[in-house]
Amino acid sequence: MRARPEAESQGGAQRPVHRLGPLVSAIAAGNTAVVKPSEVSEASAAVVVEMIPKFLDPDAVAVVTGGVPETTALLDQHWDLIFFTGSPAIGKIIHQAAAKHLTPTVLELGGKNPTIVHSSAKIKSAARRIAFGRFANSGHICTAPDHVLVWPDVKDELVAELKEAIHDFYGDDPKTSPDYGRVINRRSFDRLAGLIDSGTVAAGGETDAEELYIAPTVLVDVPVDSPIMQDEVFGPILPVLEVDSVDAVVDWVNERPDPLGLYVFSEDESVAEHILERTSSGDACVNDCSVHPLVQQLPFGGVGNSGMGKYHGHWGFEAFTNARGVLYHSALIDPGVKYPPYSEHQLERKVMQKLM
């Protein structure tokens, strides 16, 4: 039996966090693997390089570091499966390289995860959960709420509760909070700092380039065509926009690339079901956001622009295996009726022979 190698890459400036969950699934499914951590987060890559050979058989799991040249060299190999977590732009490059060898891929990509807050929602709870999902890890989470679509009659209350949640989580000065992180590098800092002007700052807005610090920021009065609404934010900035109907929400989601996650906050079950039934996303949460990957019983992954394939738990085992059907057929019974020549007379004769 040939073990199936797995090439995992976290490439691209938009995905600095190394996750070894896919490796667990690959090993559980009986594979060998090559892990390629991102060159963007050097410190965690160094930990991966140190720890994997220490605790895993180096003949079964190898680690390759480096940037574009090393990743390109890996993609030139003939793998049995490539698993990639990263941006849609890099995911397309991975998929194109895999196609040369007809190699299957599992791609977990990003997207602008819409977060809907209906008038019936419990606003305080919604605000706390949205703030946690957006500002944890300084916003560097692929399942984070990217933007909020809120009904006008509860918008001001939601923004006020978001500000209160930020204060509860990170204190008077989030810059000094041990629970609030920094942006991964200067390139990402410059990109994110430039997005703050996309709307009116309702909370946060402070930056410090030397410390790569961007305060947890909430924007309102954000034009639909503003820079922050064009690509995944992937940082600690949350645009809040108004929407006035369920149908408008459905149109908003369907007019844009399929997101990795879609989040609906509503105490009216019919509202949530209407939105979920008429839209597409990799996964979804009702009255929460971002935390669904922690539930191992749920399949996790994207759809369309946000990826392909599912993993986690049993779904991860399925992703890293290739089911092969094998039929054992006894030679003791071999009815002649299945063999030619076929005619009405021949069929009747053969049936009668078997019955006599």
Q: Are 101 and 78 in contact (CB under 8 A)?
A: yes
DSSP 201: E
- Clarify whether residues 191 and 310 are in a common domain: no
| % of the chain with per-residue pLDDT over 70 | 91
- Clarify whether residues 149 and 289 are in a common domain: yes
What is the predicted pLDDT for the residue at 129?
Answer: 98
Sort strands 283-286 and 81-86 into parallel, antiparallel or unpaired: unpaired
For residue 237, give the nearest of 291, 162, 311, 321 by alpha carbon. 162
Q: Which residues make beta-bridge pairs with 215?
A: none
Q: Are 103 and 147 in contact (CB under 8 A)?
A: no
Map tokens 């994110």 to a residue.
Answer: 192
- Clarify whether residues 44 and 65 are in a common domain: yes
Domain coverage including residue 161: 114-294
What is the predicted pLDDT for the residue at 334?
Answer: 87
Q: Are 107 and 307 in contact (CB under 8 A)?
A: yes
What is the predicted pLDDT for the residue at 1?
Answer: 26
Q: Which residues make beta-bridge pairs with 262?
A: 284
- Take residue 146 and report the two structure tokens written for it: 């990217």
Q: Is residue 85, in this structure, part of any structural domain at all?
A: yes
Q: Tell me which residues are annotated as active site.
A: 108, 142
SS3 109: strand
Identity of residue 166: I
- Clarify whether residues 155 and 101 are in a common domain: no
Q: Is residue 281, in this structure, part of any structural domain at all?
A: yes
- Clarify whether residues 71 and 99 are in a common domain: yes
- Clarify whether residues 131 and 247 are in a common domain: yes
Q: How far is 281 from 146, CA to CA, in rounded Å? A: 14
Q: Is residue 348, in this structure, part of any structural domain at all?
A: no
* Polymer length in residues for the chain: 356
For residue 147, give the nearest of 218, 197, 205 by alpha carbon. 218
Q: How far is 48 from 50, CA to CA, in rounded Å? A: 5
pLDDT in tens, 152-203: 999 999 999 999 999 999 999 999 999 999 999 999 999 999 999 999 999 9
Residues 6+ apart with CB under 8 A from 35: 8, 20, 23, 48, 52, 61, 62, 63, 64
Q: Is residue 327, in this structure, part of any structural domain at all?
A: no
- Take residue 335 and report the two structure tokens written for it: 């009815």
For residue 289, give the nearest of 93, 142, 102 by alpha carbon. 142
- Clarify whether residues 207 and 59 are in a common domain: no
Q: Where residue 166 sits, what CATH number does that domain have? A: 3.40.309.10
What is the predicted pLDDT for the residue at 341?
Answer: 79
For residue 237, give the nearest of 146, 124, 143, 117 by alpha carbon. 146
pLDDT in tens, 300-336: 999 999 999 999 999 999 999 999 999 999 999 888 7
Mean pLDDT of 287-294: 95
User: What Å distances lie between residue 86 and 109, 173, 245, 291, CA to CA?
Assistant: 5, 32, 33, 19
Name the domain count of the chain.
Answer: 2
Instruction: Using the predicted structure, report yes or no on whether residue 11 has a pLDDT greater than 60.
Output: no
- Clarify whether residues 123 and 240 are in a common domain: yes
What is the predicted pLDDT for the residue at 18?
Answer: 43
pLDDT in tens, 62-86: 999 999 999 999 999 999 999 999 9
For residue 77, give the nearest of 111, 36, 118, 42 by alpha carbon. 36
